[in-house]
Amino acid sequence: METLKAMALRKSVRAYKDEQIAEEKLETILSAGCAAPVGMARYDSLHLTVIQDKEVIKKVSESIMQMLKRENDPLYGARTLILVSSQEMPAPGLDYTNASCVMENMLLTGADLGIGSVIVWGIALAVEANESLKEALSIPEGFKPLIGACFGYAADTEQKEKELTVKIQSNRV
Ligand SMILES: Cc1cc2nc3c(=O)[nH]c(=O)nc-3n(C[C@H](O)[C@H](O)[C@H](O)COP(=O)(O)O)c2cc1C
């Protein structure tokens, strides 16, 4: 029941308060990520990077802006980024699928705890393309950044549950 409520509450947040998220909430979010299903139970093939250093977040933001030729902060003022990286896996797509399962658990847990989030595709691309950034983040050797997201307290505190409907085209056989 609570899971359905978290799903209904979760939405992409694109403006954050300048306030760091509580440490115990971050721990819960990370633990929830680690409870996700992972192909062949290869939890060791994944790595989580929590980025809270303001200067490093600024570098990631600038790197994305440069790459995408954007002028606005693509990280929306978020004070925490979480990046999921993976080693190369023996089956195609396994790395991205694992990272997505971990990330979705973290997004939903954020929603449950009143922490907003948004996946930003450019985070992983920018880190992968920037060797000094990869080094600054201590991404372990052999791991590739796959999905990054912003986490933080939403500037707009209004919470609205969306209706859960089958909106993706589907069929039954
Ligand atoms: C793989 C992926 C990449 C995304 N990249 C971005 C992004 O770069 N910037 C952004 O603001 N939102 C990004 N989003 C968020 C989507 O735009 C958002 O999930 C979608 O519009 C549905 O809205 P909701 O999350 O509020 O339900 C991304 C979402 C996913 C799953």
User: What sign does the CA torsion over 54, 55, 60, 61 have?
Assistant: positive
Q: How far is the CA of 113 from the centre of ligand 1 (A)?
A: 20
The count of C-alpha atoms lying within 13 angstroms of the C-alpha of 163, restricted to the half-sphere facing its C-beta, is 3
CA 12 to chain CA centroid, Å, is 11
Domain boundaries, the chain: 2-152
Torsion angle in degrees (nearest 10) through CA of 67, 115, 51, 96: -60
Confidence bin at 1 (pLDDT 50/70/90): low
Q: How far is the CA of 76 from the centre of ligand 1 (A)?
A: 13
CA distance 32 to 116: 15
Confidence bin at 123 (pLDDT 50/70/90): very high
Whether 21 contacts 79, CB under 8 Å: yes
- Strand residue runs (E) in 31-89: 46-51, 80-86
Q: How far is the CA of 100 from the centre of ligand 1 (A)?
A: 13
H/E segment holding residue 132:
helix 131-136
Mutate-to-test residue for ligand 1 from 10, 12, 96, 105, highest number of ligand atoms within 8 A of CB: 12
> What integer is the mean pLDDT of 59-78?
96
> What integer is the mean pLDDT of 71-95?
97
**What phi, psi does 128 have (nearest 5°)?**
-60, -35
CA distance 73 to 65: 7
In 10 A of CB 15, how many CB atoms?
14
Q: How far is the CA of 70 from the centre of ligand 1 (A)?
A: 17
Domain 2-152: which CATH number of 3.30.930.10, 3.40.50.880, 3.40.109.10, 3.40.440.10: 3.40.109.10
> What integer is the mean pLDDT of 12-25?
98
The response to whether residue 20 sits with its C-beta less than 6 Å from ligand 1 reads no
In 10 A of CB 113, how many CB atoms?
17
Confidence bin at 162 (pLDDT 50/70/90): very high
> What integer is the mean pLDDT of 120-139?
95
Nearest ligand 1 atom, CA 123? 8
Please tell me the residue having the least CA distance from ligand 1 atom 8.
120
